[in-house]
Amino acid sequence: MKPYKTLRLRSGAVSLLIHRKSVRIMFGLLLACLVVAIVSTGLGEMVISPINVVRSLFGADAEEHTMVIQKIRLPRIIISLLVGASLAAAGAILQGIIRNPLASPDIMGVTGGASVGAVTFLTYFLGVFSIRWLPVAAMLGAAIVSIVLYALAWKKGVTPVRLVLVGIGLAGLMSAATTMMIVFSPTNDARQVYLWLTGSVYAANWENVLTVLPWTVILIPLAFLLARHVNIGQLGDDIAASAGSAVEWNRLLLLFISVALAGSAVSVAGGIGFVGLIAPHMARKLVGSSFENVLPVAVLLGGTVVMLADLIGRTLFLPLDIPVGVFTSMVGAPFFIYLLYTKRNS
């Protein structure tokens, strides 16, 4: 039996090689993700058994269970899944096009741009416009930073090294701008901003789900279809160009996809850090470096990680509800240091 499964459109425009081992890992992670979602939906101040959770999803359980699950917990679980998947996909794309395992939306300044957009809205425009415009402000901030990033990194083309260096500088600048606005904002606004910046899916609702869902279901498959351009880019710009790949155009398109995914996630869940760094790295450990294998595995890992972080945050310290970003940072910061150390000694 061949170790690879070929996926090819009739036109030949898209051709992908999926390792059979990767398929098995994907199904295993999908099952694990489903189990975590069901268990997480049933846990809280009111404990509901997994069987009753499944029954409630079909409207066959007690009315109070159905209300708690469908109105309160299920939107929160789905938001955790979508946000984790989007951040993981954004990180996988950035690491692929920059050819650096240390790249992620938060380290490259994309998340910082979204945070500046959101904090600006919360501080200066919340009394003027509805809170429903917060996602737009966050995505606009991410988009502006990405444009500045690409413009500053351009010098007869954009190289991965310049993208990383400029991105780290912009991340520091966005962090300083955010802190400055918090210092000069009223106390009540500062508390709300701090909670948002930490990263939380508290009080998520179906409107939040509908905000993130279109970006996730459209852009992640699009990135998957562009996998061969990411793979050939791993060989270097000169080789990719000689093989017929439009290097700059593909890099710009993939950067836009990454920014849109990260911006949509941050717009509803705040600055959840390190998911875009951890999930792609774990995926490469499991399935190798081929992007068409890395992306779906990273997406499933990212969604599962954020759901687990949310489950721990809202059940382990009852009646307190600890933001998701606290736990992702507790894991992600040491992981980032470990990557720096291994990269320096490699």
Residue 190 confidence (pLDDT) above 80: no
The pLDDT, as a whole number, for residue 93 is: 93
Buried/exposed code over 6-26 (b: 16+ C-beta within 10 A; e: otherwise): eeeeeeeeeebbbbeebeebb
Residue 299 confidence (pLDDT) above 80: yes
CA–CA distance, 229 with 225 (Å, rounded to integer): 9
The pLDDT, as a whole number, for residue 158 is: 66
CA distance readout (Å), 81 to 33, 51, 66, 107: 9, 21, 20, 22
Instruction: Quote the crossing angle between the two packed helices 110-120 and 247-269, to the nearest 10°.
Output: 40
Side chain identity at residue 52, one-letter code: N
pLDDT digits (tens, 9 = 90+) for 24-75: 999 999 999 999 999 999 988 888 888 888 888 887 766 778 888 888 899 9
Q: Which of 30-44, 75-89, 114-128, 264-278 has the lowest mean pLDDT?
A: 114-128
Question: Measuring CA to CA, which residue among 170, 111, 107 is closest to residue 141?
Answer: 111
The pLDDT, as a whole number, for residue 311 is: 93
- 4-8 and 15-19 strand pairing: antiparallel
| H helix or E strand, kind and range, residue 237 | helix 237-242
Structure tokens at 94: 């950035």
pLDDT digits (tens, 9 = 90+) for 278-294: 899 999 999 988 888 99
Determine how many CB atoms are found less than 10 A away from the CB of residue 189.
18
Per mean pLDDT, which of 60-69, 220-229, 300-309 is the most reliable?
A: 300-309
Please report how many Cα atoms fall inside a 13 Å half-sphere around the Cα of residue 93, on the Cβ side. 30
Mean per-residue pLDDT over the chain, rounded: 83
**DSSP letter at 131?**
G
Confidence category of residue 308, pLDDT binned at 50, 70, 90? very high
The pLDDT, as a whole number, for residue 56 is: 83
**DSSP letter at 203?**
T
Confidence category of residue 92, pLDDT binned at 50, 70, 90? very high
Confidence category of residue 343, pLDDT binned at 50, 70, 90? low
The pLDDT, as a whole number, for residue 130 is: 76
The pLDDT, as a whole number, for residue 341 is: 72
More confident residue, 79 or 164: 79
Q: Is the whole-model pTM more than 0.75? A: yes
**Average pLDDT for 74-79:** 94
Please report, rounded to a whole number, the percentage of residues in the chain having pLDDT higher than 90.
22
Structure tokens at 21: 């081992």
Question: Measuring CA to CA, which residue among 149, 271, 295, 285 is closest to residue 222?
Answer: 295
Structure tokens at 93: 């794309």
